[in-house]
Structure 1
Amino acid sequence: MANQTLVRHVNERRLLAALRLEGPQPRAALARRLSLTRAAISDMVEDLLSRGLVVEIVSARTRGRRDVGRPGIDLGLRADGAFFLGAEIGVGVLRLALSDLAGTIVDTRSLPLGPADGPARVVALMAESLVQFGARAAYRGRIRAVGVTVPGLVRRDGHVVNLPILGWRDVPLARLLAEALAVPVHLANNANAAAFGHIHLKARAPGEVSVYLKLGTGCGGAVIDGDRLVRGADGLGTEFGHIPIAPSGPACHCGQSGCLETFVNIRALQRYFAHEEVDEQEADLTLPARVAERAAAGDPAARGAIETIAQHLLQGLVIITNIFNPSEIILGGAMLPILPALAETLEDRLANRIVPGMTRPRIVVSRLGPFECAIGAAAMAHHEEFDLSNVDLAG
């Protein structure tokens, strides 16, 4: 009986994933896809209909036609059947994004965080926010899970090992959130979440490898190989920002010198453009937009700063590409305003520096905007509760 229950659970997730990725389909097509009998698919669909997760709709193939009798009926997701709250704990801000069952973002908001706001305050804000979202009639009783992301090292069990930019170390954040929230909680590094958000709404081609770099106050990284997120033995892997590219370079908060992130983050941009050395907490988050505007107007200082970032980033990308042979490299993060210019100049240069014969990866800019980590966290919560299709987050 237990095995039958597990098989049904897996098939439900496969069905919901197929509807999310491919749109409404007839029951017969879903039965063939899942290798189920007509009776089994009907029983499963009736259960999903009763739980408000799917809906029957008139098929687009017969809608509006007069030469048919009974119109065809397809099965589709009921987008408002469940919701997932994603949260990014960032520098000075808590960003929240609410997604529906179809993966569409239906609400976003930002809350300020002060320098003294530690884990307890952030957990309290998360609990308050969940209550506020849940009080709205459209979402009441339908928020099924919460995903949370932080800009630091997070173990597989949701324990924050080190979060130097916020001054957190050895924090059992997943446990604290689970105790404060009335729904399942899933915790991840912010780059992993952003990468997952980028691929969540599209079907993955076999063998496709995506590398994601989050450029902002630091430089986070993630790799998705086929349909699996590569995280390492403890979940702490792909820390691309700490690839050493110049041993005599600036000191990094990790204790080493010359790490990639010290050459490509916002502090580095401030150093190249304004010739200012600032502490991590004093990094000007508005600078990338100003530099992008000045560069578009032809300012040589702004263009020179972007070019310097590109030269250093190229060194890291050559190493990453030679190791992972990605089909695409996604650039995201708070440096977003200058990223299109970086992507444009890097692709050809990278092709000339990688191992001969290796296919040149396409370099794209994340389309998710400033809420990309919160969106990715919501997508991860959605995946953990309802999906088997894209990334096995426990793998």
Structure 2
Amino acid sequence: MKTNSVRTLNTDSSLLKQINYVRILGLLRCNAGLSRAEIARRTGLTRSTVTVITAELLADGLIRQGAAMASQPGGGRPGMELDLNPDGAFFIGAAIEADHIKVAELNLAAEMKAKLSMPLTDTDPDTVISQLVQLIQQLRRANPFSSQRLRGIGLTTPGTINRDGVLIRVPGLNWHGVNLRKYLEAHVTLPLFIDNDANSAALAEVYLGSAVQSDSLLFLLLNEGVGSGIVINHRIMRGANGTAGEVCELMIDDQNLIGSEYGQPGSFGALVGKAGLLKQYQQQVGKMAELSDLIEALNNEDKDAYNLVSQWAGRLGQGLANIINIINPERIILGGSLTALLPYIEDQLSQILTSELLGNGEFGFFSTPNSRWNISEFGEDASVIGGAVLVYQSLFQIPDLVLLNL
């Protein structure tokens, strides 16, 4: 769910030039300090073409020229190092979450330069969008230099979003059929990119995180409910209607009567999401409780709390194994608030996955050296960073052509 690429596409020789523009920019993103000669060697482009394209990139402020490189054997004038200019472009990520809205700004070096958040006290769409726009404006006013080089805004939200930026359903906010694009375009003139939180977080891992070298990834987002983003060959797998990865209704235990707005009774979303887990914990302790209370009980070696989390790990492992068996990803990354529980059940989860996977892990996942699962390094900022990456990736793509690893 995104707008057209920031760079307008034409045809014929102009299109070829823009493809080469993306190729060279992508190459420098992954390999800093290359000379023009080395760029020509790696891309197969002529030196004259590389000279023209790098001159355009320098004029656009996206790359910078550094020191002269050491002379090569055989003489000749030493080349100049080229790499990305961190201040050449900026990207705003915005995230609507269950209880907060956040905005953040990343530069071309993928460094977070600023972040703002606000508690979500009213779930009315008009109110939420108005507050979000205020945060974006506040962020821009505080950073006037970067505001002049903004490439767009990427918005993420939980729930199901179609290709037109319409929220089909958002549990927790009770939104149905909300046209986010229409709401925001009335207030924002920058290019707008919209996707759900799990897809966006998955892209963040592929472009900036621990899955940069992976061809396929399953990102499981464990918040109030459960969502997933699936990346194949560096692109989000969306399905026919843009709803691929909606794993919340995956049935885990049809005898279990625990349900929530995040899934029907016995489903993955109801049993593994935070809303369902806390409902069980509150029944156990006989009072209202938060995730922090459950973690405190685990730290105090509370046997009942540990048994509950162990049961939760079993359901998480079962659902995760079912998804892995279907899509066979190279990497699995878990993110969201419930990853705070994973250190307590890490060994148990790995054992469950091994036993539940095809061939007990002898083939498929875990059968190759690079296959493993880990916790997202982006923590609670995974969604808002993912929003910024929706815009960031547009610099390195043209429609239907991704040139990430050159």
The interval holding the TM-score normalised by the smaller chain is 0.7 to 0.9
Spell out the pairing of 1:311-350 with structure 2 (5 A cutoff).
311-350=314-353
Alignment partner of 1:367 out of 352, 357, 377 = 377
Q: 1:390 to 1:306 in 2, by over 3 A?
A: farther
Q: 1: CA distance between counterparts of 2:113 and 2:276?
A: 35
Q: Deviation of residue 40 (structure 1)?
A: 1.3
Q: Deviation of residue 10 (structure 1)?
A: 1.8
Q: Once structures 1 and 2 are overlaid, which stretch shifts more, 101-110 or 254-263?
A: 254-263
Task: State the match for 1:384 in structure 2.
Answer: 394
Whether 2:304 is the aligned partner of 1:301: answer yes
Q: 1:162 to 1:129 in 2, by over 3 A?
A: same
Q: 1:246 to 1:308 in 2, by over 3 A?
A: same
Task: State the match for 1:263 in structure 2.
Answer: 271
Task: State the match for 2:59 in structure 1.
Answer: 50
Q: What secondary structure sits across from 1:364 in the alignment?
A: strand
Q: What secondary structure sits across from 1:131 in the alignment?
A: helix
Task: State the match for 1:30 in structure 2.
Answer: 39
Q: What secondary structure sits across from 2:202 in the alignment?
A: helix
Q: 1: CA distance between counterparts of 2:121 and 2:219?
A: 29
Q: 2: CA distance between counterparts of 1:222 and 1:364?
A: 15
Whether 2:137 is the aligned partner of 1:134: answer no
**1:349 aligned partner, one-letter code:** I
Cα RMSD over matched residues? 2.7
Whether 2:220 is the aligned partner of 1:213: answer yes
**1:75 aligned partner, one-letter code:** L
CA contact (8 A) 2:156 2:197 kept: yes
Alignment partner of 1:125 out of 120, 124, 131 = 131
**1:310 aligned partner, one-letter code:** A
Q: What secondary structure sits across from 2:114 in the alignment?
A: strand
Q: Deviation of residue 292 (structure 1)?
A: 3.2
Q: 2: CA distance between counterparts of 1:389 and 1:41?
A: 22
Compute the TM-score of the two structures, normalised by the length of structure 2: 0.86
CA contact (8 A) 1:214 1:332 kept: yes
CA contact (8 A) 1:191 1:213 kept: yes
Q: 1: CA distance between counterparts of 2:57 and 2:245?
A: 38
Q: What secondary structure sits across from 1:122 in the alignment?
A: helix
Q: What secondary structure sits across from 1:168 in the alignment?
A: coil
Whether 2:251 is the aligned partner of 1:244: answer yes
Runs (5+) with no aligned partner, structure 1:
none
Q: What secondary structure sits across from 1:275 in the alignment?
A: helix
**1:292 aligned partner, one-letter code:** I
**2:388 aligned partner, one-letter code:** A
Q: 2: CA distance between counterparts of 1:391 and 1:88?
A: 27
Q: 2: CA distance between counterparts of 1:254 and 1:340?
A: 24
Runs (5+) with no aligned partner, structure 2:
1-9
Alignment partner of 2:313 out of 310, 315, 319 = 310
Q: Deviation of residue 260 (structure 1)?
A: 0.7
Compute the TM-score of the two structures, normalised by the length of structure 1: 0.88
CA contact (8 A) 2:106 2:114 kept: yes
